[in-house]
Structure 1
Amino acid sequence: MPSGRVHNSINMAVLLALGTGTLLASRAGLVTLTQSQTLQFSLGFLAGTFLLSPDLDLSEQRVNSKKNWGFLGPLWVPYGMVFSHRGLSHTWVIGPLTRLAYLAILVFLAVGLLRTFWPAVHLPALPDPFKWKLLVPVTLGYFLSQWLHLIADGIRPDHGLRRARRRRRGRA
């Protein structure tokens, strides 16, 4: 299995290739992307590569993604205790969603603690009205980074389904 450094290198090579291909395609008039869409996609992709890697399920150990969180890295240890390596956290849809859900829980806890113990603090709010369409490129970038990691690990999209089918056949 590739190391964290190899996973990051694969993702960055793909991002560079995508950027180059998109630039060439836009100059040829084949696609139209705004700078904002490109930035949002890239931020989602980079966050998925360096901060929210599927290998956070190993966060009790030394993992690049946990190190990239700096002093906040230990916050991911409970995630690693809940999810076994290459289990649910390494599935194509549920896995990336588990990391986003865990991150949302951490943010809600932090906001709750701040409001409880420091009520005068001004916290940023979502813009009104929140532009949901900005989530599309961020989400696409995030999921693509996750899927590249899984492909490099040799995990196919039907990973969990194949195991479930084998178990059912074994019982029959």
Structure 2
Amino acid sequence: MPSGRVHEAVNLTVLGAGALAYLAQGGSPEEPRALAFALAYLAGTYLLSPDLDLAEKGVRAGRRWGVLRLLWRPYGWLFRHRGLSHTWVLGPLTRLAYLGGVVWVLAFPLGRLLAYLGVDWDLRPPSWPKEALGWGLLGYYLSQWLHLLADGIWPDHDLRQLRRPR
């Protein structure tokens, strides 16, 4: 299977080619939809890789989080490598849900403490167009799918597993 560097090289090559095509068509890099796509794609490539299920083993995906990689250990305990975390739809969704849960568990008590101390803490997202969220999700999922393709996991992988007799 490809190393983390190979996965990153594949993803960055595709992103670069897509960016060149987008700019050649007259697209602006400051367009919120393009920015959301690129940022989510890069986050999916570097921070939310499907290999986070191996975070306790010191893989690149976990090391990028620094000390916070400890937060990903339970994710590795929940999902075996190349199991549900390496599926086409649910795998990326599990990482987003897990990250959202971790952020909520950490931010909720901190917000309460800051409110108690009288600090106004506003976490509302910036006012981007609503379609930027869809483009961000597309960028994130595309980065995940390229990782799976490099691992040799095709879109029908989940269906073949369901049809296999037990």
**TM-score under structure 1 length normalisation:** 0.87
| Aligned residues of 2:44 and 2:140 also touching (Cα < 8 A) | yes
Residue equivalent to 1:55: 51
Q: Displacement, 1:131?
A: 4.4
Unaligned runs of 5+ in 1: none
Amino acid at match of 2:107: V
Q: Distance in 2 between matches of 1:46 and 1:142?
A: 8
Amino acid at match of 1:152: A
The aligned runs of 1:19-34 (5 Å cut-off) are: 19-24=19-24, 26-27=25-26
Residue equivalent to 2:5: 5
Q: Measured at CA, do residues 21 and 129 of structure 1 come closer, stay the same or move farther in structure 2, by a change above 3 Å?
A: closer
Identity %: 50
Aligned counterpart for 1:146 among listed residues 131, 144, 147: 144
Q: Distance in 2 between matches of 1:130 and 1:9?
A: 30
The aligned runs of 1:116-135 (5 Å cut-off) are: 116-119=112-115, 120=117, 121-127=119-125, 131-135=129-133
Structure 1 outlier segments of 4+, above 4 Å? 31-34, 127-131
Q: Distance in 1 between matches of 2:137 and 2:31?
A: 16
Residue equivalent to 1:68: 64
SS where residue 147 of structure 1 aligns? helix
| Aligned residues of 1:79 and 1:102 also touching (Cα < 8 A) | yes
| Aligned residues of 2:37 and 2:132 also touching (Cα < 8 A) | no
Aligned counterpart for 1:101 among listed residues 97, 111, 123: 97
Amino acid at match of 2:15: L
Residue equivalent to 2:79: 83
SS where residue 164 of structure 2 aligns? helix
Q: Distance in 2 between matches of 1:22 and 1:128?
A: 24
| Aligned residues of 1:58 and 1:85 also touching (Cα < 8 A) | yes
Between 145-154 and 125-134, the greater mean CA deviation after superposition: 125-134
Q: Distance in 1 between matches of 2:125 and 2:146?
A: 32
**TM-score under structure 2 length normalisation:** 0.90
Give deviations 1:8-59, integer Å, cap 9, x for gaps: 11100110010111112x14xxx78862221111000000000000000111
Q: Displacement, 1:126?
A: 2.0
Unaligned runs of 5+ in 2: none
